[in-house]
Amino acid sequence: MTDFINNFRAIHHFVKGVLSNGRGEYTLTFVQDPDGRWYIDMPWDGNRANLEMVAGADDMLTYLDSEHKHKVTLHVIPSEKPLKVDGHVELRQVWKSLTGGSIYDASDFEGFGTKEIWVCPVTLCVLGRYPKYLYMKKV
């Protein structure tokens, strides 16, 4: 029964995010556990593993955590069209699937060796969509 309730709550977050239409700017915080895994820091009643950053996103956070504080806060602007946003890195969408997440080209991220970053479907709960462009800056 507990799994059913947790899954229902996770679905609720998902639907709420999609219906919000994902407009605006976001300040998102990520934390690194002692085992080295990164997670988005947000309220979540489902399985915490769903919040884990993997497939390049974890590498990006490790790269940005230059002070080794095990915490990174990002200013994120999602957009459907290219923008000129000073001080932000542009990530361009190269692939998406409603249930499979989205892959972004990170080749313009100076000094960062990973060329692609995958974001999971939890992105829909946070941003409401997989935007064509993500603009990010460390806060």
Q: Check if the beta carbon of residue 74 is closer than 8 Å to that of residue 127.
A: no
Residue 23 pLDDT: 56
Exposed/middle/buried for residue 90 (C-beta within 10 Å: 0-12, 13-18, 19+): buried
Q: For residue 105, what are the β-bridge partners?
A: 92, 116
Write down the pLDDT at residue 34: 95
Q: Residue holding tokens 């969408």?
A: 93
**7 phi and psi, to 5 degrees?**
-65, -40
- Domain total for the chain? 1
The domain in which residue 26 lies consists of: 2-138
- Please list the pLDDT of the chain residue by residue as tens digits (139 residues): 455 444 444 444 444 444 344 458 889 899 999 999 999 888 877 787 777 889 989 999 999 999 999 999 999 999 999 999 899 999 999 999 988 899 999 988 888 887 899 998 888 878 888 999 999 999 9
pLDDT of residue 35: 94
**pLDDT confidence of residue 37:** 94
Is residue 59 exposed (0-12), middle (13-18) or buried (19+ Cβ within 10 Å)? middle
Residue 98's pLDDT is 84
Q: In the prediction, which pLDDT does 30 show?
A: 93
Please provide residue 133's backbone torsions phi and psi, each rounded to the nearest 5 degrees. Answer: -135, 140
- pTM score > 0.85 for this model? no
Question: Given this model, what pLDDT does residue 111 score?
Answer: 82
